[in-house]
Structures are given as C-alpha cells and as structure tokens.
Amino acid sequence: MYLISGIIFLCTTLTVHHAAKILAVFPVCSKSHFTPGFILMKELAQRGHEITFINAFPQKEPIKNLRDISVEEVKTSLAGFLNNEKLTSLRKMNYWNVMEFVSTLGETYTEVVLRNQNVQNLLNSGEKFDLVIMEHFWNEALAIFAHRFNCPLVYFATGPVSIFNSHLIANPTYSSYIPNFLTTLGSQMNFLERLKNLFVNILCVTYAEFKSIPKQNALLKATFPDSPNLENIVYNASLMFVVSHISIHDPLPLQPSIKYIGGHHVGSLKPLPIKIKQFMENASEGVIVFSLGSILRSCDLTFQQKEVILNVFSKMKQKILWKYERDLDGLPRNVMISNWLPQQEVLAHPNTVAFIGHGGLLGVMESVYFGVPILGIPTYWDQYKNIEDVVRRGMAVKLNLHDLTEETFSNALNEILNNPKYRDNAKLRSKIMQDQPVKPLDEAVFWVEYVIRHKGAPHLKSAALHLTWYQKYLIDIVLFVGFLVITISFFILFIMKYIFFNSKVYVSDHEKNK
Ligand SMILES: *[C@@H]1O[C@H](CO)[C@@H](O)[C@H](O)[C@H]1NC(C)=O
C-alpha cells in the first residue's frame, strides 16, 4: 500500500517537475482533424504540462493547464469547401484538381490563422515554448511558430504516412509497394498498377513542389516579410505522429522519427445514455450503428437516398441506431435516430453487429478496435482508401453512395450480417490493434516529453533530409556510372577497332579501288 502510494507520489512529482510549455496548432474546423490533437493535448495538460492550443473549437468549460487560442473564423472561411456538394464533387475530379482543391483549402485557412489577432499577439508576446506540435495538412507556413519560438517542431498527421507527408521526415516512398492513397491500390501491385502508382506519386510530388509549397512560401513572406524561406523551417521537425496502425495499414519502412499512434483516441468508455442503452439491450437480433460523420451529414442525403435506406431498414430484423441530425417522419419501429451518438460506446456494445460509416479514419479505427464489421460508404479524400484497406482485410464491404439502391444496400447489409467471415476478420484485427506493449496515448506522451528532454532529439533526424531528390535516388550516381561505362566502352571499342580492323578495312578498300 505504502509502496503504491509512494510510487504514485513519485510519478506525480516527476510529472510536475518536468512540466513543459507546449504550443499546439490544430486549426482545421473538422472534428476528424481537431479531435486527434485535442485528445493528446488534454492528456498532456492532465499530466501537468502547460498547453496553448490554437484551434477552431474552443472549450466552453475551461480545462486546467489548457489555454485555447480560438481561430473560430476558420469555420466561415472554409464553409465553401467543407460542404456536401463540394466534397462529393471531388469524386469526379482528376488527381491534379483534387490536390488543387485541398491545397487551396489549406492556403485559405493557413492565411486566416496567420492573420488572426490572438495568434499575432502570441507571436509577438515574447512567450517561450519548449515545443510546437502542429497538424500537417496543406499548411506548411504554420511551421513558422517553431522557428519564431526557436523550439523543436513535431508534426501530427491525422492520416496515414503518405506521399504528402513522407518528405517532411525523409521517409522512403517506394512506388513499387507503397500505394498512393489518392488511388485505391493495395500494396501488392501488378506491372500496370505499379506504373500508375509511380505516375500518381510523381504527379503529387510535382504538385507539392511547384504549386503547394510556393503558395505557402508566398503566404509566409506576405505575413512575415523577415522570415526565412519555407524549406529552411519545414524540414527541421523532430518527429511526426501518424494516426495509423499495422492492424489496418500495410507494413512500411519507417524512419525512427515517425510514431504510429492510431487508436490513441479510443479511450475509457462512459456509460451509455439511458434511452440508447435500453434500445440496444432490447435488440435480441443485434444493432446496426449508422453514422456518416460530422461533415457529410445524414440529413443532407437526398430524399430518394433516405427513402431507399428507410425501406431497407424497415425489412430488417436488427435494430438500427442512426446518427441523424434532424427530425425524420415515417421512421420504422426498429430505427432510432439521434443527432449525436457516443460512437465508441455504441460500437463497444456487445449487441452491435455492424457499422455503416463513411470511412473516416477515426471511425474505421474505432470499428477495428472494437471488432465491428463495416459497411463503408466512402465519399471523398482518404475515405476510399480507408474503406479499401478494411475491405482487403475481409472485415468490410464497400458501397458507393451514387450506386445506392434498395437492392445494392440490402445485399451489402445481408453480406456483412450473414457471412461470418466479416465478423471473424474484424475480431482478428481488433486483437491485433489491442495487442500493444504500451497504450498509443501513453506512447504519444512519452515521445513528446522525449523530444523536449533531448532538445529536439536531433539524433533522430535522417541524413536523407540534406539530400536533393536526385541524390536521394542516386540519379546522379547512376548517370555518372552510366556515362563512365559508355565512355569506357567506346574507348575500348575504338582501340579494338584500331588494332584489329582498321588496317584490314583500309586494305580491302585499297584493293577495291585498284
Ligand atoms: C530547428 O530546430 C531546432 C530545435 O530542434 C531549433 O533550435 C532551430 O532554431 C530550428 N531551425 C530553424 C531554422 O528554425
């Protein structure tokens, strides 16, 4: 007993002793970008660190050690991007235009953040920070915070390692077996798929290099004329957190400065609200959980789509719990709607038999964590890839929103519910995700403190960060060796010709002329 309280005492004093000042920058006004950062910041605050948190969802009730710097106006500035119509139109765009869309979105909110009065005040306050953690999402200019406060920088990717963030840490990007996530390719690719993957990767790198980074650089120079070039501050990060896990994503080579923390947001469960609890407990045939996330809302589905969905539901023996943001007439008796769902808690319920979701990474992570098969209805950006990944692992079925009919919808649902393979594979993936030496959130905290303890941990930085692309891929060496081989071959050929043939040829020509 004394030993335990002694250890607890020691732990608390140690935490307080190492309390650090951390600036977190998570300004995207979408819960799937905000929440992963917020969970980590809340935990760091609870462990005694002093957090300054730039975000668009400031707390209504203050949290100890956590100071919000609100950039709520990001919501207004991105309203033209983050709406159903725009996001579902991405499906019809080519890769270049998709990048144009997200990069313009990035440019828009980056500018709003840099020009925000409170942010400006902070930058000019002379405050000191031990670390800056920023979400990386088409916003490189925000790396200026770490430079201004002269402290280590940690990136936080609210998605897997990809062609869009690998370069920040100089992580290898082999087109032969690391699929680009704009495509829905898996890691086992045939010749044509590898060709396509290489092509899309080159397209993405070209876009970033010649369009996106210059835009961010211009933005930075416009706001802070005295700041160094973007390349000098962007490639100086100590670490990159990635919301990814081997239970979902394919194995990749990873630099030691990349840390997978997928599942860190899955936490201690709260009791279910009484109405939902009763509904779920009385479902002897099981419950299907249905949510399309916070951006594409179920109430924005077309009239026909809703009719299809309700018709299919009314014929099911299972109960359906649907995150639906308005009132809905003519609900079948087995369907309950709610404008908010405690998603982790309902997915964790033993009566839950399937999850109908849009393929947002956090929802997919939760489904995998609790071993629930997925009917995925992806609509934009990384959702296709997220769903494709779980389909490949045999725990999901994909249905495109534009293919939604009573027949396709009920077929997909029946497949998920009646073929035991989906449930078995979901359970298997769940075991893999839960089998970890340390909880992902604890691991994230450890690495944050590690970077602070080791003054930016420069020993983690790869030498590849100092190479140009042609040096990294040995193009200069290949060209040089190629040149050498060709030159030497010609030289040898020339000499051989001179020794063995030249005189004969001369002689024969000579004879001919005679
Ligand atoms: C690079 O990061 C280190 C800390 O990790 C910091 O001291 C240094 O000022 C940074 N360099 C630039 C150009 O921001």
Q: Is 181 helix (H, G, I), strand (E, B) or coil?
A: coil
Predicted TM-score of the model (pTM): 0.90
Residue 153 Cα: closest atom of ligand 1: 5
Where is the domain boundary, 386, 415, 434? Answer: 434
Q: Show Cβ contacts of residue 200 under 8 Å, excluding neighbours closer than 6 positions.
A: 95, 180, 182, 183
CB 36, CB 65: distance < 8 Å: no
Are 420 and 287 in a shared domain?
A: yes
Are 238 and 289 in a shared domain?
A: no
CATH code for position 414: 3.40.50.2000
What are the tens digits of pLDDT across the range 279-301?
Answer: 999 999 999 999 998 777 888 88
What are the tens digits of pLDDT across the range 422-440?
Answer: 999 999 999 999 999 999 9
Residue 458 Cα: closest atom of ligand 1: 5
What is the rounded CA–CA span in Å between residue 79 and residue 82? 5
Nearest to 367 by CA among 386, 338, 344: 344
Are 286 and 168 in a shared domain?
A: no
166, part of any domain: yes
Are 493 and 397 in a shared domain?
A: no
Which protein residue has the closest C-alpha to ligand 1 atom 8?
150
Are 245 and 289 in a shared domain?
A: no
Distance 150 CA to ligand 1 centre (A): 6
Distance 112 CA to ligand 1 centre (A): 25
Are 108 and 135 in a shared domain?
A: yes
Residue 232 Cα: closest atom of ligand 1: 13
E strand intervals along 324-478: 335-338, 352-357, 374-376, 396-398
Max Cα-Cα span within the chain:
116
Q: What is the pLDDT of residue 13?
A: 47
What is the rounded CA–CA span in Å between residue 355 and residue 373? 6
Are 445 and 410 in a shared domain?
A: no
Are 458 and 421 in a shared domain?
A: no
Q: Domain of 480?
A: 474-514
Distance 186 CA to ligand 1 centre (A): 37
Q: How many domains does the chain have?
A: 3
Per residue of the chain (514 residues), give pLDDT as tens. 555 555 555 555 454 457 999 999 999 999 999 999 999 999 999 999 999 999 999 999 999 999 999 999 999 999 999 887 888 888 889 999 999 999 999 999 999 999 999 999 999 999 999 999 999 999 999 999 999 999 999 999 998 999 999 999 999 999 999 999 899 898 999 999 999 999 999 999 999 999 999 999 999 999 999 999 999 999 999 999 999 999 999 899 999 999 999 999 997 899 999 999 999 999 999 999 999 987 778 888 888 999 999 999 999 999 999 999 888 888 999 999 999 899 999 999 999 999 999 999 999 999 999 999 999 999 888 899 999 999 999 999 999 988 999 999 999 999 999 999 999 999 999 999 999 999 999 999 999 999 999 999 999 999 999 999 899 999 999 999 999 999 999 999 999 988 887 655 555 555 555 5
Are 367 and 508 in a shared domain?
A: no
CB 376, CB 398: distance < 8 Å: yes
From 150, 238, 239, 452, the mutation candidate for ligand 1 (largest count of ligand atoms within 8 A of CB) is: 150
CB 351, CB 286: distance < 8 Å: yes
* Pocket lining for ligand 1, CB < 6 angstroms: 147, 150, 152, 232-233, 236, 238, 456
